Amino acid sequence: MLEVAQIIHDAGHEAVVVGGAVRDALIGRPQGDWDLATSATPTEVQALFRRTIPTGIDHGTITVVHGRGDERVHTEVTTFRGEGRYDDGRRPSEVRFLRELQEDLARRDFTVNAFAWNPITQVFTDCFAGLADLHAGVIRAVGDPVQRFQEDGLRAMRAVRLCATLEYRLDAATQMAIGGALEILARVSRERVHVELFKLLESRRPALGLEPMADTGIWAQVLAPMGGAEIEAAVSAVELMRPDPVVRLARLLWPLRSERAQIEAIIDGLKPSRDERARILALTDPANAALARLRDPVAIRKLAAALGRRHLADATDLVVREWSQLVTIEEAVRGAPLAISELAIGGKELVAAGVATPGPELGKLLADLLDWVLELPARNAAPELLAQARLLA
């Protein structure tokens, strides 16, 4: 990146690092990619380097491929720009290339993202008091917050996500402006909302983002309207859970567990992966509530088997708060098979022994054997299972 910046600088243009990378460097957080912003136009950037990729040339972004072999790097270089109307609530309808850095910084979302650092001249630029907000721990929109959120609906989600990941609070005027921009947020790709929500949920302090989500109306739009007590309980619980965004999202949806169609609609609206969807649906099954109160080992094992071993730890994290109950569940399932595949005998052995033939009846026989073993896990041995299979058959 530094060599690319030097080449642009030597050609008489400004080249600076901007945004989140500068912010993270200032507060000692791990930095992502060090992309450059420049006063050079895309055409001028392309003329300076032998190999470039027009990654987003219409919006001023060129990827510069510099170096050889293991030292080859890809650096995104974006021309300073101003933007026209945001017709789709996400991207500007037109882009104007600029020569002045301050004009480029004025279009940024939040003051703590509106920094610039020139690695060649060592000049730090902060036009909007972002450094003061960084020290105060405040997320504040650049300029007019109403305009910022009207331009790009995703900024509302990004604001609450930054509150959680940076452990900052939301500026009052910025928070008020979000409520008037929910219509713009509704037009944003759900995949983008999913990304921001999951970043929030995997943070160390998700409550710092979830609380303003509720206060601004984002919660009701992205998830579902809920009562204040339900939201407060969900936020408190999520704070205590391990930072798995899927399990934490399942806890946020837990108050809706009896409304299966509604939960499916919310999940599908977020465009999750197939695995994420399956996990959330399994975890929000109302039957899982019994994990918090069951004491009978057989009943616990049967519920655990219905849930599936891969979801058991997540479900206990979701609904169980008493240490003694966690111990009870662990003791009940220790060494016990929780699926047909974990039985000491399989369908092939039963067919070979002449006990069953391939088909639906074989599946039912294996399910009955699993139920028998769940009553007493010590029965999970091939001779005992074969003898029981003959009785059942």
- On the question of pLDDT at 196 being above 60, the answer is yes
Tens digits of residue pLDDT in 156-189: 999 999 999 999 999 999 999 999 999 999 999 9
Q: Which of the pair, 88 or 202, is modelled with greater confidence?
A: 202
Residue showing tokens 């009701």: 220
Task: Report the distance separating Cα 385 and Cα 389, nearest Å.
Answer: 6
Q: What percent of the chain has pLDDT over 90?
A: 80
DSSP codes, 291-346: GGT---HHHHHHHHHHH-HHHHHHHHHHH---HHHHHHHHHHHTT---SGGGSSS-
Read off the pLDDT band of 255 (50, 70, 90): very high
Read off the pLDDT band of 349 (50, 70, 90): very high
The predicted structure's pLDDT at residue 334: 94
Task: Report the distance separating Cα 345 and Cα 331, nearest Å.
Answer: 24
The count of other CB atoms within 10 Å of the CB of residue 194 is: 21
Q: Are 320 and 295 in contact (CB under 8 A)?
A: no
Read off the pLDDT band of 68 (50, 70, 90): confident
- On the question of pLDDT at 380 being above 80, the answer is yes
Give Cβ neighbours of residue 281 (< 8 Å, ≥ 6 apart): 263, 264, 267
- Containing 208, the helix (H) or strand (E) segment is helix 207-216
**Averaged pLDDT score across all residues of the chain:** 92
The predicted structure's pLDDT at residue 92: 57
Order of strands, edge to edge, in the sheet holding 52-56?
A: 52-56, 61-66, 73-79, 36-38, 15-18, 115-118, 123-126
- On the question of pLDDT at 73 being above 90, the answer is no
Read off the pLDDT band of 84 (50, 70, 90): low
In Å, how far are 134, 140, 165, 215, 388 from 137, measured between CA atoms?
A: 5, 10, 12, 19, 66
Whole-prediction pTM: 0.86
Q: Which of the pair, 89 or 391, is modelled with greater confidence?
A: 391
Give Cβ neighbours of residue 367 (< 8 Å, ≥ 6 apart): 340
3-state DSSP assignment of residue 74: strand
The predicted structure's pLDDT at residue 77: 92
Task: Report the distance separating Cα 176 and Cα 154, nearest Å.
Answer: 16
Dmax (CA) of the chain:
89
- Containing 125, the helix (H) or strand (E) segment is strand 123-126
Tens digits of residue pLDDT in 334-348: 999 999 999 999 999
In Å, how far are 246, 255, 267, 310, 340 from 275, measured between CA atoms?
A: 10, 22, 12, 12, 21
Supply 310's token pair. 């891969």
Read off the pLDDT band of 56 (50, 70, 90): confident
